[in-house]
Chain A
Amino acid sequence: MNRTRSVVALGLGFAVLVLAQVLAEPPEPVAFGRPDVDVVPTVDGADGGRTWYCAGGSADGSDTDVSYVVTNLGDQLRTATISVVLSAGSFQTTTVPVEPHESVTVPASSVAASPTAAAIVEVDGDHVAVEHQLGPAQAAPCASAPSQEWYLANGSTAPGATELLYVFNPFPDPAVVTITAATEGGLDAPRSLDALPVRGQSVLVVDLGQHVLRRETVAAMVEVRSGHVVVDRIQRFDGSTRPAGREITLAASASASVWRFADGGAGAESTETWHVLNPGPNTASISLGPVPDSGGSLNAVDQQLAPGAQLTLTATDLGVAGLTGYSMTVTSGNDNGIVVERTVDGRSTTRRGWTSSLGAPVSAQRWAFGAGSSSTTVDESISVLNPGAQAVTVRFLQVTPSGLVPIAGLDAVVLAPAQRTQRALGGLIQASPLPVVVEADGEVVVARTLAQVGGTGASEVMGMPWP
């Protein structure tokens, strides 16, 4: 036999192995969908069911009585199971069918009688949006996912104001939360709000005014040490300092480095302020860049925001006083997560009442609103911002039993880059509830404003992305 031939053959075999090793690609790590919580409530487009968590409100006949608005955006019959928490681990449950393209409003009081009405809304399929509302003009999305951190950039415990935080733990395991506040006086971390236990499947109502006394601006940071919770805010005014009313808001489940607002400009009779919270451990370099509807540009306002601090800027500070309309983009230059709210203290005849809304940390091509109303008592308007560098065409669709129907005159609205538009639906549609879908051929940001006609009450929320 030939030694050389054999050894060479073996060497070649070995070389092939070495070559394979060199050319081998690193393996793909195991990944699953939805590794993170939803930054904003999202209408799930994937297969499978979806659970919504509505933390705030009551079902005891008070002015914070809440209703759940379940909107089926798809074309399949869905069933929603609404479980209202009575006490820890105890639920009262009702099941409602929701026809395709139908919106069903279920008052919490029809399910249970309770001073708190946190609810779990479980839907047996996709394409369903759930909101909760205190009245026709005070609606906000429920949470589509729990989180271990929640932020609100504004709120008030000033005389005449009550800021309630609803900390809802929908899961069997107990949760432990710590609440700190950022006020105009600096960071306030009451010991009474440190390591608060939240029993499994219960809701804890925290009246911030009991812990953070008489502050005009109270931004709240809820850190969950153990477990996962959902946090709502109900801000109520007794009419002594501001028009009486209340508003429900879902807190932000995460901070973000960019927040966009499609609506800006409150008019001369109202007061508009911007609130920025830096919940992170580092100083944030923030920049607020308004873009007026009239075109042109305004100088961005740059600020440094210390960790745990909140910043309040008026329209004057931002140079937008007097503008009838503008959009706002708030960024954190060094990628520090921040939370931004826009507050309008409405005193005009068309918009009377206090609203404070979070911006949109994301953009999407399709947005949905489950609640809403356009009637003789409620005005609804939709604002759309094109944050991109390309023009987009936007369609406004009404959800009707026959499907998603384009709203006349709003089926092809073209928005130039950085342009925004605000469209009142009152002159076009009369419906209550009025679920609306806004879709575009590019990514946009959409917000909804509801205002009581001839009375006090308003709300402003970002839409829910509908992938």
Chain B
Amino acid sequence: MTPDEPTSPEAGTGRIGAGEDDVEPVDGRADELDGDDPEADVPRQLPTVTAVVVAHDPSEWFEEALASLAAQDYPALVVLVVDAGSAEPIVGRVAGVLPNAYVHRIDDDPGFSTVANAATAMVEGSDFFLFCHDDIALDPDAVRQLVEEAFRSNAGIVGPKLVAWDVPDELLSVGLSADKTGVTSSFVTRAERDQEQHDAVRDVFCIPGGATLVRADLLRALDGYDEGIPFLGEDLDLCWRAQVAGARVMVVPAARARHREALDTRRPFDDRRRLLARHRLRTTLVAYGWFHLLRVLPQAALFAVGEAMVAVATGDFEHAREVLGAWPWNLRRRGDIRARRRQLARVRALPDAEVRRLQVHGSARVSAYLAGELGRSRSLGQIGVFRRRVSTRLASQSLRWTLVAWVAVGAVVLVGSRQLVGGGLPEVGGFVGFPDGPTTLLREYVNGWTAAGVPAASAAPTGMALVGLAGSVAVGAMGLVRQVAMLGLLPIGLVGIWRLAKPFDSRAARAVTLVVYASIALPYDAVGQGRWGTLVLYGATPWLLARLLRAAGDLPFVPAEDDVVRVGWRRTQPVLALGLVAAVTAAFVPVVVVVLPVLGLALSIGSLLVGGEGRRHTWRPLLYGLAASVVAVVANLPWALTVAQGSGWWTWVGVSAPTDVRFGLSALMRFDTGPVAVGLLGCSAAVAGLLPLVIGDGWRLRWAVRLWCVALAGWAVAWVAGNGVLGSAAPDAALALAPVAASLALATGIGVVAFEEDLRRAHFGLRQVVSVIAAAAVVVGTVPVLAASFNGRWHLPRADATASLSFLDQGEPSAQGDYRVLWVGSARILPLSGVAIEGDLAAAVAESSSPAVGERWSPGDESAAARATTTVRLTADGLTQRSGAELADLGIRYVVLAQRAAPTGTAELVRLPPALLTNIDQQLDLRRVAVDPAVVVYENLAWQAGVGTEDPPGSGLGSRRAVVAVQVMVWVGLMVVVVRGRRRRERRR
């Protein structure tokens, strides 16, 4: 075989010294070569080193790298070059520089680990293996220094000091450390000059993979590299396992190597980041014993979520996906991981605590982020695009705005919610409990009947299916789903407003927008009172407004190149995207299909007022709002029909609740809707939002007017809802305040832009004074929420009524048969949706003492529930003394009159009508049960087991499933359209 001839495609199975013909010396020798090759004229007392160079399409530097091996002063060195599927065979290039080297070719590129393992399998008798990249050039004495130190320190793995290829006095690495989750950290800073400051030999946690000398027996004991980590992270994995096996890992700065870090040019950055995240987690899963693994894994998950949240906050969704995607990737390989763990357990010599000594404390990830190096890997080497971007951002003023705003807002939200995050959400008001598993919700949804009210065959709310699906995605962790579905709406809204303000092209403006939106008491009041619906709208409004604002066709929300008349598909896609968000929102708060056109109308009126650039699209926000509402309705069919046929507003408010609480205009303007004491400071958002009206010009002024139209419309709707115009029990006025909050926050952000853009041209005068006032308003506006955050739970009661009523579900009653519980009270505090009796007084029937999430939606078939409410009304009017007998027909065994949302002393008293309390006490077949006075409970003496608790008929199940199938197709179609549209847009950019 000549050097010009390719090696065998079946390579990788032969062994040097074993007579295989697929490995050949490049000078044409056909004789065998092993570690003790006599022709090498090597003194027998020297340990033999086989340098394994893994090459793949090496560039012009390859010869220099080979030459460095040729120049080594260590005589017992054999070079084996493995060509990993290079497009052009490299045997000739090797022969030109290293005529004594062996070349082994593999037609594809299975990854560094597989190649290295294959190479080591081919060699017999070698004492050390030196694994080299094809872009590394060793100093002539490097191998000798490494071998000497390996013997001197009895090290298992040693590595050289790495310096930059072109700038040899710039340090790249003198070994690495790692934190508990496998995130590596370098001992040198980027571009650090080599002034021999790191030239001491020392133990390190990891030797980067450019050049690594490994003792052969250790390598065999460790079963080589982990082929599940083809490249990127394989070095950390090997070193970690070596330490577990009791081997020392050392860096020998006297041995120097120049490293080109050419991988950056071969693999895209995102790909490398994704692989690193996966491999890091795999190594963590393999290397720890069970005890430490159980301790570290939750922390790793926490760090991953944190990194993902930061990524989302900065708009880098790909990064978030990569970080979180590492978990399912490893989950799918759990069998392989178990096998690796077993293998490592056989050679384990040190406990994890010993291994941890060489790791850094804390989180290298957080340190890297703060240092502007998140995402950088010492394996990635050179300063990549991302690193430059992050570093530049960090160094800039704008990123500081981002960091300060997010850290401050995040801290306040976390501190304010700390007891809820840590201690769980009590079942208060709309914060109902979720079932133990998602199947209950999905089954009820598919079967087409719900336990809301008295079970009846009717369209189940789409929201039940969404919650059920979320539970499935969370692998049944319904508690987590509940926390995210309720508390998670806060950050969703904040991220939404942050993204919404992106077109401002001013990080200061975005930061102020974020701070103002986060400083409005509305969502915290909603948390404090268990108003889930308000939270849903707070979270959804920025995402809804995003499309509506773009529809207005005015800068900056539509890039200039997009400000063209769209036709066909392009015109439809934004509507469908808006419709999808509206559909998800409407699944929980159907009234959004009314709110959305109102917002569109307000924007259109604003456009009408301002004219200007958006004149051509004056009515487009309204049309978008209407069309999106139609999409939302269609996506929620057939449940939407049930909603439309419902009684009054009760079905329209979804998981929210109608209320007869009257909010005055002053309270609405101050967002004073709950326990957060806002006082006059609640007006701050409105005051700050006036700024662009006074100082803005151009699009700043136009948008200020539009947004103020939205704010006024929101206030008007809230006022109308809260003052009996829509009936005695109307949607919670707070629902309409979410768009107001978003509008004022955006207006304030625009004010900042106007301050930056417009004010510099103005002379000193009123405008500057107004700016100072607005700035002060933003600052003082944070005080109420800041103060409320100290409470730690936004004043949400610490306990719920379920404990008081748990006896209903225990012991004797359940043994006697199924029964139901009739809840009566103000809709504001009922834990489930009811049917109106009078005002916001409602009656609702639950399947147990603790209503489930499915019962938050108003029952589709109200006829049975209406019977219960009729009985309640008759009772309240004193027209019956046998209400128990009437309720027994519905299987109702207990009647619960709710006077507080939580046990006495923890929630406000919402008085029940005195006539009801008096007359229900005079029922001949209701016996009062002594419980916490927050609720008044009666046992129905007329209840009989088995009466009224039969399941609804199953007829029509087939057609119901067909409807569900159609609905699923509609949702999938919507999502496909939206995703494709997004990709198209990104490609266009």
User: Which residues of A are at the interface with B, using a C-beta cutoff of 8 A?
Assistant: 1, 3, 5-7, 9-10, 13-14, 16-18, 20-21, 24, 26-28, 30-37, 46-49, 51, 120, 122, 145-146, 170-173, 200-201, 227-228
Contact yes or no, A13 B874, CB < 8 A: no
- From 578 to 628 in chain B, residues with beta carbon under 8 angstroms from any chain A beta carbon are 609-612
* Interchain CA distance A20-B927 in the complex, whole Å: 47
Q: Is B922 an interface residue (CB 8 A)?
A: yes
Contact yes or no, A13 B709, CB < 8 A: yes
Residues of B within 8 A of A227 (CB): 921
With contacts A17-B665, A32-B838, A32-B915 taken as known, whether A172 is within 8 angstroms of B880 at the C-beta atoms is no
Q: Is B427 an interface residue (CB 8 A)?
A: no
* Interchain CA distance A34-B664 in the complex, whole Å: 32
* Interchain CA distance A13-B605 in the complex, whole Å: 12
With contacts A21-B665, A27-B660, A35-B914 taken as known, whether A170 is within 8 angstroms of B924 at the C-beta atoms is yes
Of B521-529, B532-540, B634-642, B716-724, the segment with at least 4 beta carbons within 8 Å of chain A is B716-724
CB distance from B188 to the nearest CB of A (A): 58
Selected contact of A31 from candidates B610, B880, B915, CB within 8 Å: B915
Instruction: Name which residue of chain B comes closest to A201, CB basis.
Output: B924
9 closest A-B pairs (Cβ-Cβ)? Answer: A48-B879, A34-B878, A35-B915, A172-B927, A32-B915, A21-B665, A32-B876, A30-B839, A33-B877
* Interchain CA distance A33-B914 in the complex, whole Å: 11
Other CB < 8 Å A-B pairs besides A14-B712, A30-B728, A122-B882, 18 of them?
A: A1-B612, A3-B701, A6-B701, A20-B719, A20-B723, A27-B724, A32-B913, A34-B877, A34-B878, A34-B919, A35-B915, A36-B918, A47-B879, A51-B881, A120-B924, A145-B878, A172-B941, A173-B928
Residues of A within 8 A of B612 (CB): 1
Contact yes or no, B723 A24, CB < 8 A: yes
Contact yes or no, B878 A27, CB < 8 A: no
CB distance from B964 to the nearest CB of A (A): 40
Q: Is B832 an interface residue (CB 8 A)?
A: no
- From 830 to 877 in chain B, residues with beta carbon under 8 angstroms from any chain A beta carbon are 838-839, 841, 873-874, 876-877
Instruction: Name which residue of chain B comes closest to A16, CB basis.
Output: B716
Residues of B within 8 A of A122 (CB): 881-882, 924
* Interchain CA distance A47-B877 in the complex, whole Å: 11
Interface of chain A: mostly helix, strand, loop or mixed: loop
Residues of B within 8 A of A18 (CB): 665
Interface size on B, as a range, is: 35 or more
CB distance from A58 to the nearest CB of B (A): 22
Contact yes or no, B926 A48, CB < 8 A: no
Selected contact of B922 from candidates A7, A33, A146, CB within 8 Å: A146
Contact yes or no, B924 A10, CB < 8 A: no
Contact yes or no, A10 B719, CB < 8 A: no
Residues of B within 8 A of A32 (CB): 838, 873, 876-878, 913, 915-916, 919
* Interchain CA distance A51-B880 in the complex, whole Å: 8
Instruction: Name which residue of chain B comes closest to A52, CB basis.
Output: B881
Q: Residues 709-735 of chain B: 1 if any A CB is under 8 Å from the residue's CB, otherwise 0? A: 100100110010001100010000000
The CB with the most chain A CB atoms within 10 A, among B922, B925, B928, is that of B922
* Interchain CA distance A37-B922 in the complex, whole Å: 10
CB distance from A36 to the nearest CB of B (A): 8
Contact yes or no, B880 A10, CB < 8 A: no
Residues of B within 8 A of A35 (CB): 913-915, 918
Contact yes or no, B874 A48, CB < 8 A: yes
Residues of A within 8 A of B664 (CB): 21
With contacts A10-B708, A30-B838, A31-B913 taken as known, whether A1 is within 8 angstroms of B921 at the C-beta atoms is no
* Interchain CA distance A146-B927 in the complex, whole Å: 16
With contacts A1-B612, A34-B915 taken as known, whether A27 is within 8 angstroms of B941 at the C-beta atoms is no
- From 345 to 374 in chain B, residues with beta carbon under 8 angstroms from any chain A beta carbon are none
Residues of B within 8 A of A172 (CB): 924-928, 941
* Interchain CA distance A60-B701 in the complex, whole Å: 93
Instruction: Name which residue of chain A comes closest to B611, CB basis.
Output: A1
CB distance from B348 to the nearest CB of A (A): 70
Contact yes or no, A33 B712, CB < 8 A: no
With contacts A1-B611, A17-B715 taken as known, whether A171 is within 8 angstroms of B922 at the C-beta atoms is yes
Contact yes or no, B702 A1, CB < 8 A: yes
12 A-B residue pairings within 8 Å (CB atoms) = A6-B705, A16-B716, A17-B665, A17-B715, A20-B723, A31-B838, A35-B915, A122-B881, A172-B924, A172-B928, A200-B927, A227-B921
* Interchain CA distance A145-B923 in the complex, whole Å: 11
The CB with the most chain B CB atoms within 10 A, among A27, A37, A47, A172, is that of A172
* Interchain CA distance A170-B927 in the complex, whole Å: 11
Residues of B within 8 A of A9 (CB): 609
Contact yes or no, B913 A17, CB < 8 A: no
CB distance from A424 to the nearest CB of B (A): 37
Instruction: Name which residue of chain B comes closest to A18, CB basis.
Output: B665
Contact yes or no, B609 A27, CB < 8 A: no
Instruction: Name which residue of chain A comes closest to B914, CB basis.
Output: A35
* Interchain CA distance A172-B885 in the complex, whole Å: 14
Q: Is B662 an interface residue (CB 8 A)?
A: yes
Instruction: Name which residue of chain A comes closest to B878, CB basis.
Output: A34
* Interchain CA distance A401-B880 in the complex, whole Å: 28
* Interchain CA distance A171-B665 in the complex, whole Å: 47
Q: Residues 655-693 of chain B: 1 if any A CB is under 8 Å from the residue's CB, otherwise 0? A: 000001010110000000000000000000000000001
Instruction: Name which residue of chain B comes closest to A13, CB basis.
Output: B712
Selected contact of A21 from candidates B719, B878, B923, B926, CB within 8 Å: B719
* Interchain CA distance A63-B98 in the complex, whole Å: 133
* Interchain CA distance A228-B916 in the complex, whole Å: 14
Contact yes or no, A51 B915, CB < 8 A: no
Contact yes or no, A173 B728, CB < 8 A: no
CB distance from B615 to the nearest CB of A (A): 10
* Interchain CA distance A172-B920 in the complex, whole Å: 12
Residues of B within 8 A of A34 (CB): 877-879, 915, 919
* Interchain CA distance A197-B878 in the complex, whole Å: 25
* Interchain CA distance A28-B877 in the complex, whole Å: 17
CB distance from B982 to the nearest CB of A (A): 33
Contact yes or no, B877 A1, CB < 8 A: no
Contact yes or no, A145 B922, CB < 8 A: yes
CB distance from A224 to the nearest CB of B (A): 11
With contacts A9-B609, A171-B923 taken as known, whether A27 is within 8 angstroms of B838 at the C-beta atoms is no
Contact yes or no, A33 B915, CB < 8 A: yes
CB distance from A34 to the nearest CB of B (A): 3
* Interchain CA distance A48-B880 in the complex, whole Å: 7
Instruction: Name which residue of chain A comes closest to B702, CB basis.
Output: A1
CB distance from B839 to the nearest CB of A (A): 4
Residues of A within 8 A of B715 (CB): 17
Selected contact of A17 from candidates B712, B873, B915, B941, CB within 8 Å: B712
Contact yes or no, B913 A10, CB < 8 A: no
Instruction: Name which residue of chain B comes closest to A173, CB basis.
Output: B928
Contact yes or no, A173 B882, CB < 8 A: no
CB distance from B366 to the nearest CB of A (A): 46
With contacts A21-B719, A33-B878 taken as known, whether A10 is within 8 angstroms of B919 at the C-beta atoms is no
Residues of A within 8 A of B913 (CB): 30-32, 35
Residues of A within 8 A of B916 (CB): 32
Selected contact of A51 from candidates B716, B876, B924, CB within 8 Å: B924
* Interchain CA distance A30-B927 in the complex, whole Å: 26
* Interchain CA distance A200-B938 in the complex, whole Å: 14
Residues of B within 8 A of A171 (CB): 921-924, 927
Contact yes or no, B609 A46, CB < 8 A: no
Residues of A within 8 A of B693 (CB): 3, 6-7, 10
Instruction: Name which residue of chain A comes closest to B876, CB basis.
Output: A32
CB distance from A5 to the nearest CB of B (A): 7
Selected contact of B921 from candidates A14, A28, A228, CB within 8 Å: A228
* Interchain CA distance A173-B880 in the complex, whole Å: 17
Residues of A within 8 A of B879 (CB): 33-34, 46-49
* Interchain CA distance A51-B881 in the complex, whole Å: 7
Residues of A within 8 A of B880 (CB): 48-49
Instruction: Name which residue of chain A comes closest to B877, CB basis.
Output: A33
